[in-house]
Structure 1
Amino acid sequence: MKKLLVLFVAVLGLNLTSAQTEIGGATLPNTVEYGSEKLTLNGAGVREKFWMDMYAGGLYLKNKSNKASEIMNKDEAMAIKLHIVSKMITSKRMIDAVTEGFENSTGGNTAPISSEIKKFISFFEDEINKEDVFDIVYLPGKGSVIYKNGNESGVIKGMEFKKALFGIWLSNNPADEDLKEGMLGKQ
C-alpha cells in the first residue's frame, strides 16, 4: 500500500509539472483561458537588459506558429503573459520601454494609434513589483484586454493597435530578439 501511495504521488507530481513551463525564474502555465478562448503556450523567453533578467514572457495562441508577421496580423484570440522577475522594473521604466516598443513596432508611425497607446501606457502607471504578472490578451470583436495580477485594467479596441502591440515583441525590431525567438518556439 505504501508503494502504491508513493507511486501515486510521483505520477501526480509529474502531471502537475508538465502543466507549466519554468523560465527565467518564473512559472508560466502551458494553457490559459480567457472567456471561452483556450490558448496554448507557443513559446517563452526572457527579456534581458545588461545581462540581467527583467521579465519572462510567454506567447499563447490557438494553434502553434513560428511566423511572427502572420501572428501579428491574425484576427484571432492570442495573449502575451509577462511575469516580472526583477526589482529593477519600475512603472517609469516599463512606460519608457513600452513607448520605445511602439515606436519600433510601427516604424515610428504611432500617430494613427496615439490615443490607444496613451490609454495602454496608463495601465502601467501604478507601482510595478517583482512577481507582478501582466496578461495582454487579444479577443476578436472585443479588442486588447489588459490584466495586472488577474484584474482587468481595461480594453483597447482596434486591429491596428493590436498589430502594433504584439509587434513590440514580434516585429522586425522587437524589444528583445532572444525573447522573440523564444516566444516563436525557436529556442
Structure 2
Amino acid sequence: MRKLYLLLTLTLLPLVYTSAQSKLSGVSVYETLSFGGNRLVLNGAGIKERMWIDMYVASLYVPTKTTNADQIINSTEPAIIKINVVSGLLKAERMKEMFDEGFQNSMNGSTAALKAEIDKFISFFDSTMKENDEFMIVYNPKTGITVFKNSVKRGVIEGHDFKKALFGVWLCVKPADEKLKKAMLGL
C-alpha cells in the first residue's frame, strides 16, 4: 500500500526539478523544469529589488532559449515563470500593486478586455504571502495559465491573450523592472 501511495504521489506532481545551476539570493535556480511531459530550459533568472533589498527571484523557463522578448510573449509553447519570495518585506498588497502596474504597461493601458482575468490572477497573491513562498506560473497551451503557490494549485486562467499580457509584465517594452527583464532573457 505504501508503494502505491508513493507511486500515485510521484505521478501527480505537476513539476519535476532537475539539478540546480546556481543560487540567487539563496534560491536554487534549476537548469530545467518538466511538467506534463514538457521539458523546459532556464532562459534566465534575476532578482526584483526595491531600495537595494532583494524582494523575489524570478526564473523563466521555455522550450528553447532565446533573447527575443516578443517571441516569448507571443509563443504558444509551454513556459513557466517561477517566483520565489525572498523578503518578508514583500507583502501581498505590494505584489498586487506591482502586477496592476505591470499589466498596465504590458497592455499599453488598455486592460479592460482582460479585467476579470487580471483580477482573478491577482487574487492568487493573497494576504498570507510570506518569505520563502514559491509561485509557479505555468503556461500550457491546452489549459492556459495555472498558478501554484507552494505546490498547491491556486487556479487556472484560460486564454492566450492573458498569457501574452502576463508574460509582458516582465518582458514588454516597459517592463516592471528593466534589470530583471534582461536577466530573464539571459542578457
Equivalent residues of 1:145, 1:156 under 8 A apart: yes
Does structure 2 retain, via aligned residues, the 8 Å contact 1:24–1:45? no
Question: Which runs of 5 or more residues in structure 1 are unaligned?
Answer: 1-16
Task: Tell me, in whole angstroms, the C-alpha distance in 1 between the residues paired with 2:149 and 2:126.
Answer: 12
Deviation string for 1:28-68 (max 9, x for gaps)? Answer: 22211121111111111111111111101100000001000
TM-score by length of 2: 0.87
Task: Give the secondary-structure state (helix, strand or coil) at the position aligned to 1:172.
Answer: coil
Task: Give me the CA root mean square deviation.
Answer: 1.3
Which amino acid in the other structure matches residue 92 of structure 2? S
Corresponding residue of 2:176? 175
Say which one has the larger Rg: 1
Three-state SS of the structure 2 residue aligned to 1:127 is coil
Whether 1:146 and 2:147 are equivalent positions in the alignment is yes
User: Counterpart of 1:114?
Assistant: 115
The residue number in structure 2 matching 1:8 is none
Find the residue that maps to 1:185 and give its secondary structure: coil
- 1:72 Cα deviation from its structure 2 partner: 0.1
Identity %: 46
Are 1:77 and 2:78 counterparts?
Answer: yes
Report if aligned partners of 2:145, 2:157 keep a CA contact under 8 Å in 1. Answer: yes
What amino acid is the match of 2:132? E
- Give the CA deviation at 1:112: 0.6
TM-fit CA distance, 1:141: 1.4
Count of matched residue positions in the alignment of Structure 1 and Structure 2:
170
1:94-137 Cα distance to aligned partner (Å, 9 max, x none)? 11111111111111110010010011011012411111111111
- What TM-score, normalized to structure 1? 0.87
Give the distance between the partners of 1:143 and 1:102, measured in 2 at CA: 17
Q: Give the whole-Å Cα distance in 1 for the aligned partners of 2:129 and 2:32.
A: 25
